[in-house]
Amino acid sequence: WTHINGKDVYEDTKNILVTPPIVSIQPQQKQIVRLGALTPPDPKKGETYRLIIREVPSPTLEPTIGIQTLLEVRIPVVIAPLNPSKPQILWTANRVEEKKLNVKWENAGESYTSFRNIALFSKDQEKPLAEHAYQAFLLPKQKQEFVFDLPSSLKEENIKIVAQTDAGEISEIVPIVSQ
């Protein structure tokens, strides 16, 4: 699983073993699926995959009325690097309206970063101006953005961005650019 030109790209792999590869799960039942890496991960980057689980339509002999809906789930599978590096996130903040701030972030590092929350703080304040409960993986060179609604117009030239990640807290003062 990679990210190229703003799009997720999936390729088949022989590096991961899934067992059992095919299961039949009855209603209200559970199934454990085990995954194993068949090759060692890149020591600096680790490896990222997506486990794709698809519901297969059950064969019916009788015609049905309506639409049959099938489920597909794509679960991130991450093999952490043996020698993880500190996340390298590039931040920008652009004022789009008086009470709106567009924050963009890019993973400039070699490994993925998993985000759980992003908060904006004004200078010397303990309570955030705005928060975004953001749970996602940011692959190398991948970018994301979000427009934060602020409670009041922001007069400052900088904003403090605090992000909770799998590698701990990231905190950075970022200049605000007016458009």
pTM attached to this predicted model: 0.73
How far apart are alpha carbons 14 and 38 in whole angstroms? Answer: 8
The pLDDT, as a whole number, for residue 61 is 67
The long-range contacts involving 131-138, CB below 8 angstroms and separated by at least 24 positions, are 137/48, 137/76, 137/78, 137/112, 137/113, 138/89, 138/105, 138/107, 138/112, 138/113, 138/114
Between residues 104 and 125, the one the model is more confident about: 104
Over residues 22-36, mean pLDDT:
90
How far apart are alpha carbons 85 and 138 in whole angstroms? Answer: 14
Q: Is the pLDDT score of 151 beyond 90?
A: no
The pLDDT, as a whole number, for residue 80 is 82
pLDDT in tens, 38-73: 988 888 888 889 899 988 877 776 777 877 778 899
Q: Is the pLDDT score of 178 beyond 90?
A: no
